[in-house]
Amino acid sequence: MSLRNLDFEDLKRKIKPKIQPLIWDSTRKVLHVLDQRKLPHCVEYYEARGPEDVHYCIKNMLVRGAPAIGIAAAYGIAMAAHTLSARTTSLEEIYLKLSEVGQFLKTARPTAVNLEWAITTMLEHARGMVDSKSVSSTRELAEALERLAVKIQEEEFELELKIAIHGLEKLEGCSSVMTQCNAGGLAGAGLGTALAPIKLAKYLGMDIKVYVPETRPWLQGARLTVYELRVENIPHVLIADTAVGYVMYKGLVDALIVGADRILRDGHVINKIGTFKQAVIAHELGVPFYVAAPKSTFDLKRRVNEIVIEERDPDEVRKIGNVLITLPDTPVYNPVFDITPPRYVTAIITELGVIYPPYHVNVPRLLER
C-alpha cells in the first residue's frame, strides 16, 4: 500500500483527537489539564488558573510528555499576561514580569527542551510586539499572546499528523511494534509522536499491534499508553520492562518507535529511562529503532555532556502507589531519562521528513534549511 498520496488537508479535516490532555477555556482564561496521575481509572481535569498552577501541573506530572509540557507553558505565559494586564499599563513592565514568569516555569522540569522552546517563543513574540509598537496596550499584548498559545497547540496537532504520515511510511509492512513510556496524544495535542503513525494506520484500516513495556517507576506504559490504545481500539500487549529483550529475541516485533524529550544535533536521543536499553537490544538483533519527534524537540546548541537528566523522588522506586515494596531506607538512584547514542538510532521521524545517519550532518541540514 502506497502512503505517499495521502492528502494532508483531507486527513486534518477528518481525524479528530479522541484524547485531549489540555483544553483552553478562552472565556474564563483557564487551562483544563487532564490529571494523568489518575489514569486509567479516573478521567479528571485540573483547573490551572495561572502560571503557578501550570508549574505545579508540570512538576507533579499532571501533564507530561515534551510537546504537552511546552503547550501548557505557553498557556501559562498567556494567563500571566492577562493577569498582569489588569495591573499595569506599561508594556515594558509587563514584558519584564513575563520574563520572570518564563524563568519560573522553566524550573518545573529540566530535561524536555519543548518547555524552553515554548517559553522562548512566547517571550520573543512579546518582545517583538513591544519593540515594534504593534500593540498599544497591555490588554492587546495579552490577547495576542493568548492567540499565539492557541496557535502553538493547533500547530502541534498538525505536525503530529505530519509525523504520522512520515512514520507510517517507515512502518509500512509492520504488523507489530514496541514503544516506550507514553508518546501518544496524552503527551502532545491529541495524536502524539510515536503513537501517531499507529493511530493513522488504524484510521486507514490497518492494524498494528503494540507491545507496551510498563515503564517503571511511574508506569506510563501500563497506565497511559494502554489507556490510549484502548480508547483508540488498537491491539496491544502489556509486558514487564524486563521482558523487552526476550520479546524482541522471539521476533514478536518488527520495529521499535519511541518519542523523545530532547534530540541533539549529533543524534543523541534523550528519552524516558529504558529507551537506551531497548535501542541497544534492537541494534544487536537487527530490529529497526525509530525516534519520532517534532522540530521543537531538537536542541541544536547543547552537547551531550551539558544535558541535565532529571532525578526524582526515591519513593517513586521504593513504592508502587502507596505500597512500600522494599525497605523504607533503601538507597535509590532514580533518573527518569536516559541518553541513547546515535549509532543505535535507525532514523528520526519529524514533521519535516525522516532524518538518517550521519545525524551530525543531516539533522542541521533538515532543520536549519
Q: Are strands 262-264 and 269-272 parallel, antiparallel or unpaired?
A: antiparallel
Predicted local distance difference test score (pLDDT) of residue 1: 45
**One domain for residues 149 and 202:** no
**One domain for residues 87 and 231:** no
Asked, for residue 278, whether it belongs to a domain, the answer is yes
**One domain for residues 249 and 182:** yes
Tell me the three cell numbers of residue 149: 498559545
Q: How many CB atoms lie within 10 A of CB 237?
A: 15
The stretch 275-300 carries a mean pLDDT of 96
157-161, 318-322, 327-331, 352-356: least confident range: 318-322
- Residue 2's pLDDT band (cuts 50, 70, 90): low
Residue partners of 120: CB distance under 8 A and separation at least 6? 102
Q: How much is the mean pLDDT over the chain?
A: 95
**One domain for residues 176 and 152:** no
Choosing from 35, 53, 241, 261, the catalytic residue is 261
Residue 28: is its pLDDT beyond 50? yes
Amino acid at the residue 122: M
For the question of residue 329 being annotated catalytic, the response is no
Domain holding 86, by residue range, is: 15-157
Where a domain ends, among 113, 134, 157? 157
Q: Are 210 and 235 in contact (CB under 8 A)?
A: yes
The residue whose grid cell reads 523523545 is 260
**One domain for residues 323 and 236:** yes
Residue 205: is its pLDDT beyond 80? yes
The stretch 280-300 carries a mean pLDDT of 96
d(CA 195, CA 199): 6
Domain containing residue 293: CATH number: 3.40.50.10470
**One domain for residues 53 and 101:** yes
Residue 263: is its pLDDT beyond 60? yes
Predicted local distance difference test score (pLDDT) of residue 3: 59
d(CA 235, CA 202): 10
End-to-end CA distance of the chain: 31
- Split into its structural domains, the chain has a count of 2
Asked, for residue 134, whether it belongs to a domain, the answer is yes
Output 346 or 367, whichever has higher pLDDT: 346
Amino acid at the residue 355: I
**One domain for residues 300 and 321:** yes
**One domain for residues 204 and 143:** no
Asked, for residue 266, whether it belongs to a domain, the answer is yes
Is 103 exposed, middle or buried (CB count within 10 Å of its CB: 0-12, 13-18, 19+)?
A: exposed
Residue 272: is its pLDDT beyond 70? yes
pTM of the model: 0.91
Asked, for residue 229, whether it belongs to a domain, the answer is yes
Residue 31: is its pLDDT beyond 50? yes
Where a domain ends, among 106, 134, 157? 157
CA distances, 204 to each of 103, 154, 176, 351 (Å): 43, 23, 16, 19
**One domain for residues 213 and 315:** yes
**One domain for residues 96 and 184:** no
Asked, for residue 1, whether it belongs to a domain, the answer is no
Predicted local distance difference test score (pLDDT) of residue 170: 94
d(CA 148, CA 79): 12
- Residue 368's pLDDT band (cuts 50, 70, 90): confident
Predicted local distance difference test score (pLDDT) of residue 138: 95
Domain containing residue 39: CATH number: 1.20.120.420
Residue 302: is its pLDDT beyond 80? yes
Asked, for residue 170, whether it belongs to a domain, the answer is yes
Output 114 or 267, whichever has higher pLDDT: 267
**One domain for residues 96 and 214:** no
Residue 343: is its pLDDT beyond 80? yes
Asked, for residue 145, whether it belongs to a domain, the answer is yes
The residue whose grid cell reads 526515591 is 314
pLDDT tens digits along 44-85 = 999 999 999 999 999 999 999 889 999 999 999 999 999 999
Tell me the three cell numbers of residue 292: 519520532
**One domain for residues 180 and 152:** no
Where a domain ends, among 122, 138, 157? 157
CA distances, 359 to each of 188, 198, 275, 343, 345 (Å): 25, 25, 18, 9, 10
Asked, for residue 10, whether it belongs to a domain, the answer is no
